[in-house]
């Protein structure tokens, strides 16, 4: 991967040795404000069933009022210590439970703890157990969205000293950075620079992001481990040498640069908590099969509803009959209308496009492979030859998706910067860029590909969301993200999300 995309921490190694030895580490969670903001956003979005379940457990008290309870008991529960964070090392692009969440006397990590707490909330044996589980769930979802709670370096920045002052509305002159470390700046300092009352922070989010932005949160892979990876990736964006000089000086320019990330993470935390609670309190959610009890086939829902051969014929007809292009055009036109309406209203408008089945049409490859996905194979023209994905991408002969090219040209003409973010690997850059040009795309602001080394359980969704965050931190406002997969759209950092049709394959 190009070094410039993942800022190197020139000073970190030296600072690590010095700082770890000297600085008393005060490991906290979001301050109570951050947890309250997440809890309040969620509470306002509960379904009637979840609201009733919460009200019963809480005796009418708000979620915000108990959102920091887990920090109060942390001192008395030694096995809780590690449950508030997950130390993903710099460069981590996948969550590995064995490496990142190993059991210890201090507990394992927040990803596993949240899973247990959710299960206890769903099925706990007593109301008291479920009440406690609710408090943990609310707290842990919050912690997972604090970027430095998914960052392993210097104990999440607890050991990285910062100094300077912030001049916010609550700072009557200036806020000295009281506790003086980067972690607590993120837990509390940045939020306190913005508001006295956390409710005012919620109000602002409700009137801005939460009012205008699509947060598609339902994509496959949108699980606590993905939230951790997204947090980790934005942690790398807000803690690097370009933003924070080696002497740890923090100022209002830092605050301005990272505020969009702070806002998105708090909003995402609230929305994801709402979804998690709504699922957990849905009727019948505590009816997992008891081990050893075979489920009758009719109840598994796994009985195939269709025939694969017939489906292939339908997909071909969908395309050949023009339905596919028509459906693409409808989505692309809606995106165009939105982007053009907003382009003149913001300083640096941007549009994010996925590549495969969004900007480029791989029908030739899919048809040659009879809808199978084949990596290798020379993709020659001899009948019966496999069209391997690597050869296909290197050949660069996929045509444009016409509707998207139209959107692209309209956006460019309106002065909108267009970025491609794709799951293709960095090694495929040359073929990919040549293909985009040959298909008629020109003058893009960036083509972001996946680093070559990434593999394993790493989801497209968290990669793509973090890359949007990187663009936002460069000062762009992403008006829309357009893709054919839910994983192109989830995770925030864009005003609107537009999903193109793709009945042919699914990327989690």
Residues at the contact surface with ligand ADE, assessed by CB under 6 A: 27, 84-85, 87, 148-149, 151, 155-156, 158
Tokens of 179: 């506790």
The pattern of x and - marking residues 70 through 99 that bind Zn ion according to CB under 5 A reads: --------------x---------------
Indicate the SS3 state at residue 360. strand
With CB under 5 to 8 Å by kind, the binding choice for 403 among ligand ADE, Zn ion, none is: none
The pattern of x and - marking residues 172 through 191 that bind Zn ion according to CB under 5 A reads: ---------------x----
With CB under 5 to 8 Å by kind, the binding choice for 1 among Zn ion, ligand ADE, none is: none
Closer to ligand ADE by Cβ: residue 109 or 355: 109
Q: To the nearest whole angstrom, how small is the minimum distance from the Cβ of residue 158 to ligand ADE?
A: 6
Residue whose token pair is 């680093």: 451
Nearest Cα to Cα of residue 350 among 253, 493, 491, 242: 493
With CB under 5 to 8 Å by kind, the binding choice for 187 among Zn ion, ligand ADE, none is: Zn ion
Pairing of strands 477-483, 496-499: parallel
Closer to ligand ADE by Cβ: residue 107 or 156: 156
Residues of span 128-147 touching Zn ion by CB under 5 A:
143
Q: To the nearest whole angstrom, how small is the minimum distance from the Cβ of residue 70 to Zn ion?
A: 6
With CB under 5 to 8 Å by kind, the binding choice for 155 among Zn ion, ligand ADE, none is: ligand ADE
With CB under 5 to 8 Å by kind, the binding choice for 404 among ligand ADE, Zn ion, none is: none
> How far is 185 from 146, CA to CA, in rounded Å?
11
Q: To the nearest whole angstrom, how small is the minimum distance from the Cβ of residue 8 to ligand ADE?
A: 20
> How far is 365 from 362, CA to CA, in rounded Å?
5
Our finding on whether 210 is near Zn ion (CB under 5 A) is no
Q: To the nearest whole angstrom, how small is the minimum distance from the Cβ of residue 53 to ligand ADE?
A: 30
Cβ–Cβ under 8 Å, residues 158 and 101 = no
Closer to ligand ADE by Cβ: residue 228 or 403: 228
Q: To the nearest whole angstrom, how small is the minimum distance from the Cβ of residue 46 to Zn ion?
A: 22
With CB under 5 to 8 Å by kind, the binding choice for 87 among ligand ADE, Zn ion, none is: ligand ADE
Burial (Cβ within 10 Å: 0-12, 13-18, ≥19) of residue 374: middle
Going across the sheet that includes 496-499, the strands are: 446-450, 417-425, 349-353, 477-483, 496-499
> How far is 31 from 64, CA to CA, in rounded Å?
12
Residues of span 25-44 touching Zn ion by CB under 5 A:
28-29
> How far is 158 from 293, CA to CA, in rounded Å?
48
Q: To the nearest whole angstrom, how small is the minimum distance from the Cβ of residue 104 to Zn ion?
A: 17
Closer to ligand ADE by Cβ: residue 151 or 278: 151
> How far is 383 from 447, CA to CA, in rounded Å?
34
> How far is 177 from 165, CA to CA, in rounded Å?
6
Cβ–Cβ under 8 Å, residues 356 and 447 = no
Indicate the SS3 state at residue 185. helix
Q: To the nearest whole angstrom, how small is the minimum distance from the Cβ of residue 148 to ligand ADE?
A: 6
Closer to ligand ADE by Cβ: residue 108 or 155: 155
Nearest Cα to Cα of residue 456 among 508, 387, 393: 508
Per DSSP, 346 falls in state: S
Residues forming the site for Zn ion (CB under 5 A): 28-29, 84, 143, 187
């Amino acid at each position: 991967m190009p070094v410039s995309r993942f800022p190197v921490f020139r000073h970190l190694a030296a600072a690590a040795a010095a700082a770890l030895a000297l600085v008393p580490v005060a490991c906290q969670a979001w301050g109570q404000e951050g947890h309250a903001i997440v809890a309040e956003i969620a509470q306002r979005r509960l379904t009637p069933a979840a609201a009733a379940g919460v009200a019963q457990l809480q005796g009418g008290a708000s979620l915000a009022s108990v959102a920091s309870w887990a920090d109060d008991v942390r001192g008395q529960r030694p096995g809780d210590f590690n449950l508030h964070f997950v130390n993903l090392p710099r460069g981590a692009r996948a969550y590995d439970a064995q490496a990142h969440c190993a059991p210890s006397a201090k507990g394992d990590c927040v990803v596993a703890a949240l899973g247990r707490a959710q299960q206890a909330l769903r099925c706990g044996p007593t109301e008291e157990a479920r009440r406690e589980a609710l408090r943990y769930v609310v707290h842990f979802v919050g912690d997972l969205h604090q970027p430095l709670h998914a960052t392993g370096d210097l104990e999440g920045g607890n050991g990285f000293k910062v100094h300077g002052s912030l001049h916010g509305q609550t700072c009557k002159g200036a806020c000295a950075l009281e506790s003086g470390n980067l972690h607590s700046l993120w837990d509390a300092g940045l939020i306190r620079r913005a508001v006295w009352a956390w409710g005012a922070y919620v109000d602002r989010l409700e009137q801005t992001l939460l009012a205008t932005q699509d947060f598609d949160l339902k994509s496959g892979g949108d699980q606590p481990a993905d939230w951790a990876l997204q947090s980790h990736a934005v942690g790398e964006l807000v803690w690097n040498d370009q933003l924070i000089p080696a002497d740890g000086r923090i100022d209002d320019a830092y605050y301005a640069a990272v505020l969009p990330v702070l806002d998105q993470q708090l909003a995402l935390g609230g929305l994801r908590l709402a979804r998690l609670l709504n699922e957990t309190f849905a009727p019948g959610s505590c009816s997992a099969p008891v081990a050893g009890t075979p489920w009758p086939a009719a109840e598994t829902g796994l009985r195939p509803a269709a025939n694969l051969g017939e489906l292939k014929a339908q997909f071909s007809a969908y395309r050949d009959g023009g339905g596919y292009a028509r459906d693409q055009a409808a989505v692309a036109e809606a995106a165009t209308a939105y982007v053009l309406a907003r382009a003149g209203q913001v300083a640096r408008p941007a549009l994010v496009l996925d590549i495969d089945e969004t900007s480029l049409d791989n029908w030739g490859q899919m048809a040659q492979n009879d809808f199978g996905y084949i990596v290798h194979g020379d993709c020659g023209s001899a009948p019966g030859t496999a069209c391997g994905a690597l050869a296909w991408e290197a050949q660069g002969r996929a045509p444009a998706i016409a509707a998207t090219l139209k959107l692209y040209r309209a956006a460019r003409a309106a002065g909108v910067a267009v970025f491609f973010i794709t799951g293709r690997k960095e090694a495929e850059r040359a073929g990919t860029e040549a293909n985009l040009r040959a298909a008629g795309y020109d003058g893009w602001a960036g083509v972001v590909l996946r680093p070559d080394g990434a593999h394993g359980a790493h989801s497209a969704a968290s990669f793509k969301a973090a890359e949007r965050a990187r663009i936002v931190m460069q000062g762009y406002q992403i008006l829309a993200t357009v893709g054919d997969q839910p994983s192109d759209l989830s995770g925030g950092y864009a005003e609107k999300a537009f999903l193109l049709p793709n009945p042919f394959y699914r990327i989690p």
